[in-house]
Homo-oligomer: A and B are copies of this chain.
Amino acid sequence: MIDFELTQSFFNPSSIAIIGASSNEKKTGSRIQRYLVSHGYKGRIFPVNPNRDNIFGLKCYPNLKKINEKIDHIFIALDGNKIIEAINDAVSLNVKCATILSGGFSESGSEGLDLENEILDIANKGNIRVLGPNSIGIINISDSVILSANAMLELPNLKKGSLSVISQSGSLIGALLAHGASRGIGFSKLISVGNEADLSVGEIGKMLVDDVDTDTIILFLETLRNSREVAEMAHLAHKSGKAIITYKLGKSDLGKELAKSHTGAIAGSDEAFNAFIKYNGMSRVEIFETLIEVPNLFKNKVIAKGKRIGIATTTGGGGAMVVESISSSDIEVINPGSSMSSLMKQYNIPYNDNKLVDLTIAGAKPEIVNDVIKEFMENKNCDLVVMVVGSSAKFRPDQAIEPLLKWANNSKPLVVYVAPDAPEALQLLNKNGIASFRTPESCAEGIKAYLNNKSPKTIDNNYEQINFNKIKTILKSVKYKNLTEFEALKVFDIMGIKTVRSKIVSNILKSRELTMEFGFPLVMKILSSQIQHKTDTGGVELNITSEADLKNRHKKLCKVFDKLEVKNSDREFLLQKMEIGITEIILGYRVDELVGPIVVIGSGGVLSEIYDDKSVRIAPVDFKEAKKMINEVKSLVTITGYRGLPRADINILANAIVDMSQLASIKAIKEAEINPVLIKEGLEGVVAVDGLITLY
């Protein structure tokens, strides 16, 4: 639960001490006091600086202890050891909150990390919660507490609104403020979290969920430091009807980094992050501006019932740009139907039953615009209305924008793209709570983000009886962190996934009865915990067709062991029935660094790496979700009866995914992968023929 007293001293402290206050306007240290005052802070301010008696007309103190008044929140604009002194003082004065502006901590190396830990230690013991270090501060516009060094606070009037921001980039808060200001978008609270040494995105987010002045929360993220807290925040936000919209950096580079590791190549962390976002009912956008333009859509009291949109325009080209960006998704641009045709006829506007209702020639006449919007609002096949406004937005807002205003919060959401640069039009729309966009790209992205947003998931974990104890026993008995293929397949088998018939043979002479049992063709593989990549080292012999063949292949594998200098005691062979499928996939489980357990399926074989064709979810998943995953892997269309090809039983494959995802219950497992799972025709189902498991 969020502590009310903490929230108060964090967002709305009644007194603030500024450690490292400065009277030099050019210095960052001066900004805190200046901005607090210029934006109307009503509490008490105590500048602290041993070299000054007075700063900007306020008495200045040599240190915290000399203040002798109740202090709610301290803002530290000093470096290194001076911070420790300040925190120590604050503990003794029973201060609730400290914001640390300075950098040079965990983000800059091990020395900084040590200092950060030391500060945190003192703070924890002294019951002080810390924002930062490396935080540009807290901008609480609703309560006029502007406790931040961001240069954008030179803006004379900060517009109040219901949008709140949590950002891991301090400087971008300024950019968001400026982009908001030019569009007439107001904010409630903007918080720069810095290194999140103590207070993290999730915990601050929960305060915002409880905040009556906040309707929508936007997150600017560079990483994810405490995914559990963020998930909790998301669930609470959903319950309170507040949307969370994120922008996250680290797509490309992280992807590359992770591609280096084996399972990483299957599921780069960015896909895991996307899975996390969807799982928790949040939205993610990839165009920076969408972040501040889309919230009005989420704030709508009415909720779109489906993904069918109606679109009208007073600029043909502008409307077409939006349609184009949207039509690559599963959102349907509706055919407006016969009553729209009648309306167009009535107004004598040329119209060939196009999906885009083009009023370019008619121009932006208020009554026409109004009637077209009305027609869409009343159309049962339409879930959301898009209006694209041309040049008239700039010079005739009375004709182009005003007719739209009354449709705010009507029976369906209304979205506007303003094609020319027309800040006044955007301001008018935002003032009336209508989601409005500066570019066709952000307009399309905003609509997609809104219409694709879903509630957070809850997984019913009771549908399956897996003998987890048996697995834990195996895991305790293994010698190495990398399980052998035989051990791994055994685990998968217990999980409920059908595995290939396998036996370990140490001596080829003893294999006779096995070959009788399995029948030819067979597969023989080297088995040694010393060797991770059997295939790359020539350690797999496929399609062994006779006893004689088996002997030859065995000899070849012995040579592989020789070459790899595996000692005799560590040499074994795995004999397996040779299985044939109609296609193959990779089925993986991994504890992602950022978001925790995930399950992945991807197309198998050589092309898996080439096409990066996969689906990722937070683990565990249920049967329904597993089926959706199968649908997302493009190549798997080939097992659904495509072009007369043999058809597989999708339910059996879905069950295997569900089973694999249950590994999330076993904390000892870091990653697991079945590569490949052979998919057979119809009820023959699936069979795991090779796999690995890595423990922590």
Contacts and interface: CB of A to CB of B under 8 A. Distances in A.
Contacts of A167: 317
A174 B391 contact: yes
B178 A439 contact: no
A151 interface: yes
Interface string A18-48: 0000000000100000000000000000000
A31 to B, nearest CB: 11
Contact of A178 (B28, B174, B320, B421): B421
Interface string A211-246: 000000000101000000000000000000000000
Contacts of A637: 610
Interface in A341-392: 350, 352, 360-361, 363, 390-392
Given A175-B390, A360-B171, A104 B606 contact: no
Interface centre among A150, A177, A324, A642 (most CB of B within 10 A): A324
B108 A317 contact: no
Given A174-B394, A249-B324, 12 more contacts: A103-B350, A151-B394, A168-B317, A171-B317, A174-B420, A175-B390, A175-B419, A178-B394, A252-B324, A252-B328, A606-B643, A610-B638
Interface centre among A174, A288, A361, A392 (most CB of B within 10 A): A174
A56 interface: no
Contacts of A251: 324, 328
A252 B222 CA distance: 32
Closest 8 CB pairs of A and B: A169-B317, A178-B420, A174-B391, A171-B315, A172-B317, A175-B419, A151-B391, A182-B421
Interface in A143-188: 150-152, 154-155, 167-172, 174-175, 177-179, 181-182
A480 interface: no
A191 to B, nearest CB: 14
A contact residues, range = 35 or more
A194 to B, nearest CB: 11
Contacts of A611: 611, 613, 634-635
B350 A152 contact: no
A606 B644 CA distance: 11
A327 interface: yes
B178 A316 contact: no
B327 A253 contact: yes
Nearest to A642: B606
16 contacts: A103-B350, A108-B352, A151-B394, A169-B315, A171-B316, A172-B390, A175-B391, A175-B421, A178-B394, A222-B317, A252-B328, A289-B439, A607-B607, A607-B638, A610-B634, A610-B638
A151 B315 contact: no
